[in-house]
């Protein structure tokens, strides 16, 4: 089958013939119709996440899929051939920039019935990130105040909608051209990051979801009320994450050092910092599908690329200027 492969870190992706997937006892073989493209894909290609996710080249890239079940392992009970599904496959089993992939059934869900495969492929990684940050980690409650950085991005679009659904007052940062649009998603207050410093105009927040990195994390700590929480999804990684991920001791020590300044600043301010590296979760995806089908959440897809243009799609996302998500149409790529 055809697949886009990282043959060596930092090199451009290569289109290659790869072996057919091996289907384990609890695996579901999916014919991929569309794949989402994420910033994480580029960070893995360049080796930025190699200490955390040490993939051995050559490996197929891609973290989001939507497609149809064409085979099941002997132990699979929840899915049947012909089911329309979507997933973010677990770490070490990625590879959605390909024609087919074997996915563990626990990572898979029936796709939202109201969405095409292309739209459904845009959902898993970013929606799971928002869910695990706001529902699981922060446990956002009605009446709380939530700041979502980069509200027009892939994670931001879901985080705004989800925080609003949970009953929060939502602020976000976005360029002026996207202000009306993020308000339509549910933002109550929008800060133009090109003209204002968010930490000059915002205060008293219960939760901040930060996707910009360490400098933004430390600034975000100052807009929290006492006891508030900043969740960083772009780093720096913290000791809780490194212990839970089972990283080797030298890597744990490095990650502890990377987040030391942020954690020290949080303690001084009487607030908290946590790093989130989202995980695959089919049960959560099924709950998200319900929210999409009832109109609570809606995907935002800026552009779709053909399978032959996966490198261009990845460059588009890596530029940092995409509005919502970018997807790749995969089905029929070898014909």
The pLDDT, as a whole number, for residue 102 is 98
Chain position carrying tokens 């009832």: 294
Mention every residue, 6+ apart, whose C-beta is less than 8 A from residue 156.
148, 149, 150, 172, 174, 182, 209, 211
Query: What's the burial of 130, exposed, middle or buried (CB within 10 Å: 0-12/13-18/19+)?
Result: buried
pTM above threshold 0.75: yes
The pLDDT, as a whole number, for residue 334 is 45
How is the chain split into domains, by residue range? 2-122+300-329, 126-275
Exposure class string for 133-159: b at 16+ Cβ within 10 A, else e? bbbebbebeeebbbbbbbbbbbbbbbb
User: Does this chain's domain 2-122+300-329 share its CATH topology with 126-275?
Assistant: no
Looking at the chain, the number of H-run helices and the number of E-run strands are 12, 16
Residue 328 and residue 303 in contact, taking contact as beta carbons nearer than 8 Å: no
CATH homologous superfamily, domain 2-122+300-329:
Medium-chain alcohol dehydrogenases, catalytic domain (3.90.180.10)
Instruction: Give the Cα-Cα-Cα angle 21, 123, 208 (nearest 5 degrees).
Output: 125
**CA–CA gap between residue 21 and residue 175 (Å, rounded):** 43
The pLDDT, as a whole number, for residue 51 is 83
Fold exhibited by the domain 126-275: Rossmann fold (3.40.50)
Mention every residue, 6+ apart, whose C-beta is less than 8 A from residue 135.
162, 166
The pLDDT, as a whole number, for residue 333 is 54
- pLDDT tens-place string over residues 254-292: 777 778 899 999 999 999 999 999 999 999 999 999 999
**CA–CA gap between residue 114 and residue 109 (Å, rounded):** 14
Give the residue among 175, 173, 206, 205 at the shortest CA–CA distance from 190: 173
Q: Which two tokens stand for residue 158?
A: 């879901």
Give the residue among 172, 71, 174, 65 at the shortest CA–CA distance from 120: 65
The pLDDT, as a whole number, for residue 127 is 98
Q: Which two tokens stand for residue 161?
A: 């909608």
Taking the chain (335 residues) in runs of 10, the rounded mean pLDDT of each run is 97 97 98 97 94 92 98 98 98 97 98 98 98 98 98 96 98 95 97 95 98 95 98 89 75 78 95 96 98 97 97 94 92 55
**CA–CA gap between residue 102 and residue 94 (Å, rounded):** 9
Torsion on CA atoms 311, 278, 89, 332, rounded to nearest 10: -30
The pLDDT, as a whole number, for residue 257 is 78
Instruction: Give the Cα-Cα-Cα angle 65, 335, 60 (nearest 5 degrees).
Output: 40
The pLDDT, as a whole number, for residue 331 is 81
The pLDDT, as a whole number, for residue 81 is 98
CA dihedral for 34, 298, 207, 87, sign (positive or negative): negative
Chain position carrying tokens 């919502």: 324
């Amino acid at each position: 089958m055809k697949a886009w492969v990282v043959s060596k870190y930092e090199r451009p992706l290569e289109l290659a013939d790869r072996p057919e997937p091996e289907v384990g006892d609890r695996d579901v073989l999916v014919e991929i119709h569309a794949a989402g493209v994420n910033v994480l894909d580029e960070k893995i290609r360049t080796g930025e996440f190699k200490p955390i996710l040490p993939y051995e080249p050559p490996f197929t890239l891609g973290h989001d899929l939507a497609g149809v079940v064409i085979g099941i392992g002997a132990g699979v009970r929840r899915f049947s051939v012909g089911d329309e599904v979507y997933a973010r496959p677990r770490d070490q089993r990625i590879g959605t920039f390909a024609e087919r992939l074997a996915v563990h059934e626990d990572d898979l869900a029936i796709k939202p019935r109201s969405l095409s495969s292309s739209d459904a492929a845009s959902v898993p990684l970013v929606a799971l990130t928002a869910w695990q940050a706001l529902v699981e980690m922060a446990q956002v409650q009605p009446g709380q105040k939530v700041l979502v950085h980069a509200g027009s991005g892939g994670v931001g679009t879901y985080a705004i909608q989800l925080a609003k659904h949970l009953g929060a007052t939502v602020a976000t940062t976005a360029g002026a051209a996207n202000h009306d649009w993020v308000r339509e998603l549910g933002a109550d207050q929008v800060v133009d990051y090109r003209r204002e410093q968010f930490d000059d105009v915002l205060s008293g927040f219960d939760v901040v979801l930060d996707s910009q990195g360490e400098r933004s994390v430390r600034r975000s700590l100052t807009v929290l009320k006492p006891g508030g929480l900043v969740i960083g999804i772009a780093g720096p990684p913290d000791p809780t994450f490194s212990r839970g991920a089972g990283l080797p001791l030298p890597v744990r020590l490095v990650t502890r050092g990377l987040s030391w300044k942020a954690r020290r600043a949080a303690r001084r301010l009487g607030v908290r910092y946590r790093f989130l590296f989202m995980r695959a979760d089919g049960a959560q995806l099924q709950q998200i599908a319900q929210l999409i089908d009832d109109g609570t959440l809606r995907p935002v897809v800026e552009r779709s690329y053909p399978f032959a243009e996966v490198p261009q799609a990845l460059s588009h996302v890596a530029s940092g200027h995409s509005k919502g998500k970018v997807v790749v149409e995969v089905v029929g790529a070898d014909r």
